[in-house]
Chains A and B, each alone.
Chain A
Amino acid sequence: MSYARRAWIVLWKDLVSERRSKETLNALLFFALLLLFLFQFALGDDRERLKAALPGLLWLGFILSGLVGLGRAFLAERDHDCWEGLVLAPGDKSAIYLGKVAGNLLLMLVVEAVILVLFTVFFNVDVAGHLAALVAVVLLGTVGFAAVGTLFAAMTANVRAREVLFPVLLLPVLVPVLLGAVKATEAVMLGEPLGTVARWLQLLGAADVVYLTVGILTFDAVLEG
């Protein structure tokens, strides 16, 4: 079986199980809606202040829902004793990692799209004008998030105090992605062309490459259990 096919099978398995159980997605969408309430309560009715804080809030929404979603990435394997199945799968284990990353990426992108729509409706943000640039920034940021998040989720799946440890490990490592994504989103929402934030995009790209490479190279060691 080819490498790409093995990655695809892992992705397909996750998609099917998610489609049938809708465990994670339903909860995450509800969670995203609740986050919106929280942001509104925290900032009040001041439109100006809300507008200035929007890029940060948007990514806070992505990060919080991502932490909840990614933390569950390997729970099915752990709870249903499929971990051995992954370990015993023939060939290069990094295919499993890439399949998992792809699945998490899709899940997060769906949630992020919904959060974005909710923001446009409830906070009256106009994203339609610069949607393409925004999508590029969100994609670059989310790939890095999913890459390192998937790796850490596999690491913390079998560890005591997993729920606490996962965000505690992930958040400091993700600071560059967060800063870059928020800064680039800020510029995009002000209607500036992507060229003005080229170095932030390069930083995001570099982070994506670094995290994916490390993940591919070290996932074998994580999977041993």
Chain B
Amino acid sequence: MSRALGWLTALGLAAGLVLAFGVAPREEIQGNVQRIMYLHVPSVLVAYLAFAVVLVASVAYLARRSEAADRLAQASAEAGVLFTGITIASGAIWGKPTWGTWWTWDARLTSVAILFVMYLGYLLLRAMIEDRERAARYSAVLGIVAALDIPLVHFSVYWWRTLHQPPSIFKPGPSTMPPVFLVVLLVNLAAFTLLYAWFVTKRARLLRREHEVFA
């Protein structure tokens, strides 16, 4: 099952790469730099998915105290932090030639950065508690607070300032993006979602083995 998922992920990522570099046309204004979008946008969406999974798993843990839910929360948080990191790094690489700066305190950059430190804190809290059961409980509480904080962070930072180009897909009205770009983006999104699922299943299994060994 996990192996099939792994191969599917590899296939999806390969297809995504071929499409992003071979099929998608060169963007007129930004040039080849624009192709970073096929990495940048899927990673941030998958990061949000990961943190939503952390929320659900945390609630499930507190309700049922199942260790599987706790392992899912931890695995998903780790993957989420990884994808948030990829988002920030790829955004910086895109921002330098496009905006002329690696980093700016724009609304969406700031809110993703806050997300990043929030969930780094989550992983830090886990690492600091030896007792597994207590680590699971505290992390679950933090996972819930952090996830519910995301919309608050989003709105506050958005009202604070914005410079980022407005979203191209998730907005009312028909998409302005040419269909080719959209298809390539969606294939990459699917590939990244598979990659996330594969990471999480692998990590959760690893955690289970770890617990079995130390139990």
CB nearest to B65 among chain A residues: A221
With both chains docked as a complex, state the minimum distance between the C-beta of A183 and any C-beta of chain B, in angstroms: 7
Whether the pair B145, A203 counts as a contact (CB closer than 8 A) is: no
CB nearest to A173 among chain B residues: B149
Contact with A along B124-146 (1 / 0, CB 8 A): 11001110001001101110111
Whether the pair A218, B153 counts as a contact (CB closer than 8 A) is: no
Q: Which of B155-182 contact A (CB under 8 A)?
A: 155-157, 159-160
Which range holds the interface residue count of chain A? 20 to 34
In Å, the complex CA distance between A96 and B160 comes to 36
Which of B7-15, B114-122, B194-202 is the contact stretch?
B114-122
CB nearest to B135 among chain A residues: A159
User: Chain B: interface secondary structure?
Assistant: helix
CB nearest to B157 among chain A residues: A179
Whether the pair A203, B128 counts as a contact (CB closer than 8 A) is: no
In Å, the complex CA distance between A119 and B70 comes to 47
Whether the pair A214, B144 counts as a contact (CB closer than 8 A) is: yes
Whether the pair A207, B138 counts as a contact (CB closer than 8 A) is: no
CB nearest to B134 among chain A residues: A225
Q: Does B49 contact A (CB under 8 A)?
A: no
- Which single member of B62, B152, B157 contacts A207 (CB below 8 Å)? B152
Q: Does A111 contact B (CB under 8 A)?
A: no
Q: Which of B121, B129, B144, B156 has the most chain A CB within a 10 Å cutoff?
A: B156
Whether the pair A168, B121 counts as a contact (CB closer than 8 A) is: yes
Q: Which of A167-197 contact B (CB under 8 A)?
A: 168-169, 172-173, 175-176, 179-180, 183
Q: Which residues of A contact B145 (CB under 8 A)?
A: 148, 151, 173, 211, 214
Q: Which residues of A contact B89 (CB under 8 A)?
A: none
With both chains docked as a complex, state the minimum distance between the C-beta of A74 and any C-beta of chain B, in angstroms: 13
Q: Which residues of A contact B124 (CB under 8 A)?
A: 165, 168-169
In Å, the complex CA distance between A201 and B153 comes to 14
Please report the total number of B residues contacting A with Cβ < 8 Å.
28
In Å, the complex CA distance between A152 and B144 comes to 12
In Å, the complex CA distance between A172 and B137 comes to 20
Q: Does A53 contact B (CB under 8 A)?
A: no
Whether the pair B62, A218 counts as a contact (CB closer than 8 A) is: yes
Q: Does B18 contact A (CB under 8 A)?
A: no
- Contact status of A176 and B137, CB under 8 A, knowing A161-B128, A169-B121: no
Whether the pair B148, A176 counts as a contact (CB closer than 8 A) is: no
Q: Does A222 contact B (CB under 8 A)?
A: yes
Q: Which residues of A contact B156 (CB under 8 A)?
A: 175-176, 179-180, 203
Q: Which residues of A contact B142 (CB under 8 A)?
A: 152, 155, 169
CB nearest to A222 among chain B residues: B141
- Which single member of B117, B125, B137 contacts A165 (CB below 8 Å)? B125
- Which single member of B144, B155, B157 contacts A218 (CB below 8 Å)? B144
In Å, the complex CA distance between A225 and B134 comes to 7
- Which single member of A168, A169, A199 contacts B159 (CB below 8 Å)? A199
Q: Does A145 contact B (CB under 8 A)?
A: no
Known: A156-B125, A169-B125. 14 other contacts (CB 8 A): A148-B145, A152-B142, A159-B129, A160-B129, A165-B121, A165-B125, A168-B121, A176-B153, A206-B152, A210-B149, A210-B152, A211-B145, A214-B145, A214-B148
Can you name 28 A-B residue pairings with CB atoms under 8 Å? Answer: A155-B125, A158-B134, A159-B125, A159-B138, A160-B129, A161-B128, A165-B125, A172-B117, A172-B118, A172-B121, A173-B146, A173-B149, A175-B153, A176-B149, A176-B155, A179-B160, A199-B159, A200-B159, A203-B152, A207-B152, A210-B152, A218-B141, A218-B144, A221-B137, A221-B141, A222-B141, A224-B134, A225-B134
A residues contacting B by CB (< 8 A) are: 148, 151-152, 155-156, 158-161, 165, 168-169, 172-173, 175-176, 179-180, 183, 199-200, 203, 206-207, 210-211, 214, 218, 221-222, 224-225
| Closest 6 pairs between A and B when the two form their complex, measured CB to CB | A176-B152, A176-B156, A172-B118, A179-B156, A218-B141, A169-B121
